[in-house]
């Protein structure tokens, strides 16, 4: 039986659904694909061997392009992926995150590619924090090891229905920072920028800047710790994160200016600043015009200095929440 991949679905998620639809538990499906034990499907997310592609093309009626679009292979953002880790200590990262409300809305719950990134801390659709563990038994997602015929939104260790996990709240300022970082990465990738490497290493060191996680890099922190990290950062001038010196800052502004055609970034920033202007923001924080570099600079400044005042609540983010994120690959 063939299964249609869902928007932004991760290969492993699709494989688990494919197995389920064919009456095979994921753990046994590993054998069907000639894979070994452990995190077999999560490893396929990073690289699909030729024999697996051939087999799936023949047996699951899926195009090679559709398969590779589901992977996280060959991306410049690879260093930001949560590391594959079968068992994680309390404050450490697990390999996968999820939004319980997305699962509720899904006809057949599935895992999104964007949830693999350490820079993602919340759901853009539902505004809640992402989770990286089963709230009942605290273990990470382990669908690859499921030996019974149970859909992947049930914890493979204890059977808890992950759709029932309580909503995690994230401060609006932290969510906006997350979105801005996401946009920055997309712009840089679309430009094929050589700055992306330095941006990625800055992002990895974000917990140090935020004073969260005692020296661990972003990818090694649990979802809860990364949310704390982003909330701390949103309360600081985070241009330290995106520009280490004047040259980098100039280059950065140049990139944003060049990205005038990047509708998403422009629209989001403009939309945000427009709302900001209408609110009771002090005169000195208002913008003289709508030119983009000035807009972004002011956005960073306002963000750093007035997080509580500017990000008054959910209301400010609502129009943005409807935007479906772009694919990760450039």
| Of 21 and 105, CB closest to Zn ion | 105
Q: Quick one: which of 102, 195, 234, 302 contacts Zn ion (CB under 5 A)?
A: 102
Give the pair of three-digit tokens for residue 64.
Answer: 């090679």
- Is 148 among the residues that bind Zn ion (CB under 5 A)? no
Closer residue to Zn ion in complex, CB, 146/217: 146
Rounded distance between C-alpha atoms, residue 121 and residue 126, angstroms: 12
- Which part of the chain contacts Zn ion (CB under 5 A), choosing from 96-104, 190-198, 200-208, 226-234? 96-104
Q: CB burial class (10 A; 0-12, 13-18, 19+) of residue 250?
A: exposed
Is 39 among the residues that bind Zn ion (CB under 5 A)? no
Q: Is the dihedral of CA 79, 82, 84, 88 positive or negative?
A: positive
Q: Does 155 bind Zn ion (CB under 5 A)?
A: yes
Residue 80 DSSP label: G
Instruction: For the CB of residue 128, give the shortest distance to Zn ion in the complex, in Å.
Output: 7
Tell me the number of residues near Zn ion by CB under 5 A: 13
Q: Is 136 in the site for Zn ion (CB under 5 A)?
A: yes
> Which one of residues 43, 85, 92, 126 is an interface residue with Zn ion (CB under 5 A)?
126
2, 21, 64, 158: residue in contact with Zn ion (rule CB under 5 A): 158
**Could you tell me the two tokens for 204?**
């990895």
The reply on whether position 267 binds Zn ion by CB under 5 A is no
Contact call for residues 33 and 55 (beta carbons, < 8 A) = yes
**Smallest gap from residue 141 Cβ to Zn ion (A):** 10
- Cα–Cα distance, 218 to 167 (Å, whole number): 22
C-alpha distances out from residue 140 to 51, 129, 167, 215, Å? 29, 16, 17, 22
Alpha-carbon distance of 3 to 13, in angstroms, equals 11
Contact (Cβ atoms closer than 8 angstroms) between residue 83 and residue 95:
yes
Q: Per CB under 5 A, which region of 152-160, 244-252, 273-281, 297-305 contacts Zn ion?
A: 152-160
- The region of 85-93, 157-165, 257-265, 319-327 touching Zn ion under the rule CB under 5 A is 157-165
Helix orientation angle between 246-258 and 292-305, rounded to the nearest 10 degrees: 120
290 contacts Zn ion (rule: CB under 5 A): no
| Distance of closest approach, residue 124 Cβ to Zn ion, in angstroms | 8
The only residue of 11, 96, 130, 134 in contact with Zn ion, by rule CB under 5 A? 134
Among 125, 208, 305, 321, binds Zn ion (CB under 5 A): 125
Q: Does 157 bind Zn ion (CB under 5 A)?
A: yes
Residues in touch with Zn ion (CB under 5 A) = 99, 101-102, 123, 125-126, 134, 136-137, 155, 157-158, 160
């Amino acid at each position: 039986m063939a299964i249609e991949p869902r928007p932004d679905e991760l290969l492993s998620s699709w494989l688990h659904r494919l197995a389920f639809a064919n009456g095979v538990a994921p753990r046994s499906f590993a054998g069907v694909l000639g894979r070994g034990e452990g995190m077999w499907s999560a490893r396929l997310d990073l690289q699909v061997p030729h024999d697996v592609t051939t087999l799936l093309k023949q047996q699951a009626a899926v195009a090679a392009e559709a398969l590779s679009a589901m992977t996280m292979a060959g991306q410049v953002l690879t260093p930001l992926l949560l590391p594959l880790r079968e068992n994680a200590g309390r404050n450490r990262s697990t390999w996968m995150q999820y939004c319980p409300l997305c699962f509720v809305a899904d006809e057949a719950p599935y895992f999104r590619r964007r949830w693999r990134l350490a820079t993602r801390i919340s759901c853009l659709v539902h505004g809640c924090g992402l989770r990286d563990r089963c709230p009942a038994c605290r273990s990470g997602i382990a669908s690859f090891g499921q030996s019974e015929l149970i859909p992947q939104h049930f914890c493979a260790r204890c059977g808890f229905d992950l759709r029932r996990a309580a909503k995690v709240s994230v401060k609006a300022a932290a969510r906006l920072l997350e979105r801005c970082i996401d946009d920055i990465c997309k712009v840089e990738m679309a430009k094929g920028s050589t700055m992306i490497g330095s941006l990625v290493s800055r992002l990895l060191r974000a917990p140090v800047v935020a004073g969260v996680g005692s020296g661990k890099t972003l990818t090694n922190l649990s979802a809860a710790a990364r949310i704390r990290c982003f909330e701390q950062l949103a309360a600081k001038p985070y241009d330290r994160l995106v520009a280490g010196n004047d040259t980098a800052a100039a280059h950065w502004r140049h990139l944003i200016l060049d990205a005038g055609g990047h509708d998403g970034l422009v629209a989001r920033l403009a939309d945000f600043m427009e709302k900001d202007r209408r609110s009771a923001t002090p005169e000195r924080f208002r913008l003289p015009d709508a030119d983009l570099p000035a807009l972004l600079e002011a956005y960073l400044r306002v963000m750093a200095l007035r997080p509580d005042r500017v990000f008054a609540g959910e209301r400010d983010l609502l129009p943005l929440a409807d935007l479906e994120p772009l694919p990760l690959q450039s």
